[in-house]
Amino acid sequence: MLTFEETGLKPEILRAIAEIGFEAPTAIQEKTIPHLLNTKQDLIALAQTGSGKTAAFGLPVINQIDSDSKKTQALILCPTRELAIQIANDFDAFTKYTTKLDVVPVYGGASIETQIKQLNRGAQIVVGTPGRVVDLIKRKKLKLEDIEWVVLDEADEMLNMGFKDDLDFILSHTPDERQTLLFSATMSKEVLRISNNYMNDPEEISSGKKNQGADKVEHFYYVVNGKNKYLALKRIADMNPNIYAIIFCRTRRETQEISDQLVSDGYNADCLHGDLSQAQRDAVMGRYRKRHLQMLVATDVAARGLDVNDITHVINYNIPDELETYTHRSGRTGRAGRAGISIAIIGPRDTNKIKQLEKVLGKSFTKSEIPSGEDVTKIQLEAYINKVKSTEIDTQQLAKYLPSISEQLDDLDREALIMKFVSMEFNKILSYYKNSDDINASAKAGRDDSGRGRKDGDFKKLFLNIGEKDHLTSGTLLGFMNNLPEMSKGVIFGKIDVQRSFSFLEVEAKHEQTVLDALNGSNFDGRTVSAEPKAGGGPRSGGGSRKRKSDSGKSPRRSGGIKGGGSRTGGRSRVKAKSGRRRS
C-alpha cells in the first residue's frame, strides 16, 4: 500500500496531515494524488461521500499552488454552503505549515461584500457554490483567467439541484488549458454531458463500482401498510436507543409533519426543508452536529452537501422516485470506512423498487420484520440498565445523603426496590406497547392499504373552525383528538386539510357523530372548537387512510432523551391519522 510520503507531497503538507491524524491514504486518495501530481490530464473520480475525496483533490492542488502569486489558481465548486465551509476548513488544516496561501469560501446566505473584500486581498484557492460564484464573476470580482484547476465536487448533486446553467457559465469563463477534476458518487447522463463538453480525454478512476453505495453500509427494508408507516418509524427508533439518523421524506410538508409528530411524541428530532431560513437551517444543523438531536428529518434537496460523521442510520420514509438518489441518501452513513445502516420503509407494492435498487447498487437488501412491542420494551430496558450501570458516582457529594436515603428505603427489599426503580422510568413505555399489534404487511399483498380502493361512502368530511392561525397542523390535530376523553377507541380518520382559519377532517362515516360530539365545545389552544358536517361535501374517492388503534397514541418519552424541535409551518397536508385509545 502506498504511503503519503511516497506520493511526493511536500514536507510541510505531510506535517500538517500527520497532525490531523492521517495515517495511510484511502482508496480514492491512493489513486488520485499520484495522478494529479504527475500529469495535467483531466480526471473523473467516482467516490462516495466520506471516502476522503476532499484530501484526494485538495492535497495535490495545494502541493502545486504558486504561493508567491496572489492570483486565483484553483476553483472548487460544490453544491451547498455547508460543504463549501467544510472544504475551506479542511484546506486551512492542510495548509497549516504552508506560508502565504489563502483559501476563501464564497456562498449565498452571507455578505457578498465581505467575500469581495477577502477576494480583493488575494485568494489562491476559492471554494464556492455555483450561484454565488456566478454573481462574483458577473460583478467582475472573481477573476478566472489564471485558473489552473477546476474541481467539481459532488457534481451529480449540483446538477440534481439545478445548477446546470451556472456550471456552464462558470466553466465557459475558465481557460481551456485548465485541469478539470470531476468528483461524483454516481455517473448520470448530465455528469457525462459535463465531461463530454468541458473535459479533455479524462482519466476515470473509482474507489468502487459506478453508482455503488458505500461498502460497509447494510441495507434493510420493512414492509408495512401505508397507515402504519409512522408507527414503524417509531418502533425502529425505539429498537435503536443510540440512534443518530437522517430520515428522508419526499416533500417539505411531509418532512415538517413527521418532525412535528416525533417531537410531540418525545423524540429528539427536528427538520430541514426549503421553507426554513438560513438562520433556522444553521441552528438545526448546529444542534444535530452536537448530537442534541438524534433524528433529522429532511428532504433530499435540503440534505445535499451535509458533512456529518458517525450517522448510524439513514431511514427512507419513502423510496425516492429517482433510484440514484438512494445512493446519495445511503452515503450519509458508513462514511470513511465506518459501518452504517440504510433502511427503507415500503408498502407491499414497492418491493419491485427494492429489486431495482439491488441492481443499481449491486448489493443485496435484507427484508426485516418490524419488532414487536415486547421486543422494543426489552431493548429499551436493557439500554436503560446499561446506562445506569455506567453512570459515574460522585461518592464524596452523595455520602452525606446516604444515611437519609437508606432510612427512607429501609422497608423495601432488593426486588421491590428494583421494581420501583425500573417502573419509575418505564411504566409509560410498558403501557404503550402492551398488547401492541403486529404491523408487518405481506410483500405479496395487492395493495398497501393506504386508502386506495376504499369504497365511496365510507368517510364523511367535517368542517372545523380552527386552522393555521391557531397553530394547528395535522400532527397537532391528531394528538389533540387522541387525548379527548369522549373520543371512541375505534375511530378511523382519513385526510386532514389544514387551511389558514379553518380545517377539513375526514372521519369514517359510522363514527361521524362520535367525533362531532367529542370536538364540539372542546378547547384547542384557548379557542373553543366548533365542528359540523361539510355542506355539500361528501367523501372524496380514493386518498385518506385508516388507522388501527394500537400503538397510535403518543409515544412515551424515551430514556435519556432531550425533547427538541418544534413546529414551524402548518398548511395543507396529506397524512395518515393516528387514532386509538388514550394513554393515562
- pLDDT digit string (tens) for 156-175? 888 877 888 999 999 999 99
Nearest C-alpha neighbor of 570 from the set 488, 467, 422: 467
pLDDT of 547 reads 35
Same domain, 199 and 218: no
pLDDT of 489 reads 59
Rounded distance between C-alpha atoms, residue 513 and residue 508, angstroms: 10
Least confident of 173-177, 421-425, 465-469: 421-425
In a domain? residue 543: no
Same domain, 78 and 186: yes
**Per-residue pLDDT tens digits for 55-105:** 999 999 999 999 889 999 999 999 888 889 989 999 999 999 987 789 999
In a domain? residue 573: no
Same domain, 270 and 194: no
Q: Which cell numbers hold the place of 510? A: 359510522
Least confident of 117-131, 222-236, 452-466, 552-566: 552-566
**Per-residue pLDDT tens digits for 31-53:** 899 999 999 999 999 876 667 88
Rounded distance between C-alpha atoms, residue 181 and residue 133, angstroms: 17
Give the model's confidence band at 577: pLDDT under 50 very low, under 70 low, under 90 confident, else very high. very low
pLDDT of 130 reads 94
**Per-residue pLDDT tens digits for 170-204:** 999 999 999 999 988 777 777 888 888 889 889 98
In a domain? residue 540: no
Same domain, 288 and 436: yes
Least confident of 198-202, 417-421, 538-542, 557-561: 538-542
pLDDT of 445 reads 41
pLDDT of 543 reads 36
* Residue with cell string 388507522: 547
Helix H or strand E segment including 157:
helix 155-160
pLDDT of 535 reads 65
Q: Facing residues of 76 across strands?
A: 127, 151
In a domain? residue 174: yes
Rounded distance between C-alpha atoms, residue 445 and residue 466, angstroms: 38
Residue 561 or residue 49, greater confidence: 49
For position 520, which CATH number holds?
Answer: 3.30.70.330
Identify each DSSP E strand in 91-159 by its residue range: 103-106, 125-128, 149-153
Same domain, 473 and 343: no
pLDDT of 234 reads 93
Q: Is 73 within 8 Å of 147 (Cβ atoms)? A: yes
User: How many residues in total does the chain contain?
Assistant: 584
* Residue with cell string 485548465: 178
Residues ≥6 apart with Cβ < 8 Å to 330: 213, 214, 217, 219, 314, 340, 342, 361
Q: Is 270 within 8 Å of 563 (Cβ atoms)? A: no
Predicted confidence (pLDDT) at residue 536 exceeds the cutoff of 60: no
| Rg of the chain (C-alpha set) | 28
Give the model's confidence band at 574: pLDDT under 50 very low, under 70 low, under 90 confident, else very high. very low
Least confident of 30-34, 280-284, 296-300, 569-573: 569-573
Residue 421 or residue 121, greater confidence: 121
Same domain, 81 and 187: yes
CA angle 433, 438, 444 (to 5 degrees): 160
Predicted confidence (pLDDT) at residue 451 exceeds the cutoff of 60: no
Q: Which cell numbers hold the place of 31? A: 489513486
Same domain, 280 and 405: yes
Predicted confidence (pLDDT) at residue 452 exceeds the cutoff of 80: no
Residues ≥6 apart with Cβ < 8 Å to 552: 231, 482, 578, 579, 580
In a domain? residue 259: yes
- Pick from 448, 467, 485: which residue ends a domain? 448
First vs last C-alpha separation in the chain: 62
pLDDT of 450 reads 41
Same domain, 114 and 228: no
Nearest C-alpha neighbor of 205 from the set 330, 377, 329, 32: 32
Mean pLDDT taken over the chain: 81
**Per-residue pLDDT tens digits for 369-412:** 998 888 888 888 888 888 888 888 888 888 888 888 888 888 88
Q: Facing residues of 455 across strands?
A: none
- From the number of C-beta atoms within 10 Å of its C-beta (0-12, 13-18, 19+), residue 457 rates as exposed
CB atoms within 10 A of CB 309: 11
pLDDT of 1 reads 64
Task: Report residue 580: phi and psi, to 5°.
Answer: 135, -170
Same domain, 27 and 175: yes
pLDDT of 86 reads 87
Same domain, 436 and 485: no
Q: How many domains does the chain have?
A: 3
Q: Which cell numbers hold the place of 379? A: 431493548
In a domain? residue 345: yes
One-letter amino acid of 402: L
In a domain? residue 579: no
pLDDT of 63 reads 95
Rounded distance between C-alpha atoms, residue 490 and residue 485, angstroms: 13
One-letter amino acid of 359: K
Nearest C-alpha neighbor of 215 from the set 308, 342, 304: 342
Residues ≥6 apart with Cβ < 8 Å to 403: none
* Residue with cell string 484511502: 26
Nearest C-alpha neighbor of 472 from the set 496, 507, 508: 496
pLDDT of 405 reads 85
Share of the chain above pLDDT 90, in %: 34
Q: Is 494 within 8 Å of 472 (Cβ atoms)? A: no
Domain span including residue 487: 459-533
pLDDT of 305 reads 60
Rounded distance between C-alpha atoms, residue 229 and residue 221, angstroms: 12
pLDDT of 146 reads 94
- Pick from 448, 473, 503: which residue ends a domain? 448
Burial 40-54 (b: 16+ CB within 10 A, else e): eebbbbbbbbbbbbb
Task: Report residue 43: phi and psi, to 5°.
Answer: -140, 135
For position 301, which CATH number holds?
Answer: 3.40.50.300
In a domain? residue 21: yes
Same domain, 334 and 306: yes
Give the model's confidence band at 479: pLDDT under 50 very low, under 70 low, under 90 confident, else very high. confident
Same domain, 180 and 257: no
Q: Is 255 within 8 Å of 272 (Cβ atoms)? A: yes
CA angle 316, 320, 324 (to 5 degrees): 110
Q: Is 270 within 8 Å of 293 (Cβ atoms)? A: yes
pLDDT of 449 reads 41
pLDDT of 559 reads 43
Give the model's confidence band at 214: pLDDT under 50 very low, under 70 low, under 90 confident, else very high. low
Q: Facing residues of 104 across strands?
A: 126
- Pick from 448, 470, 493: which residue ends a domain? 448
CB atoms within 10 A of CB 521: 11
The distance from CA 491 to its chain's CA centroid, rounded to whole angstroms, is 33
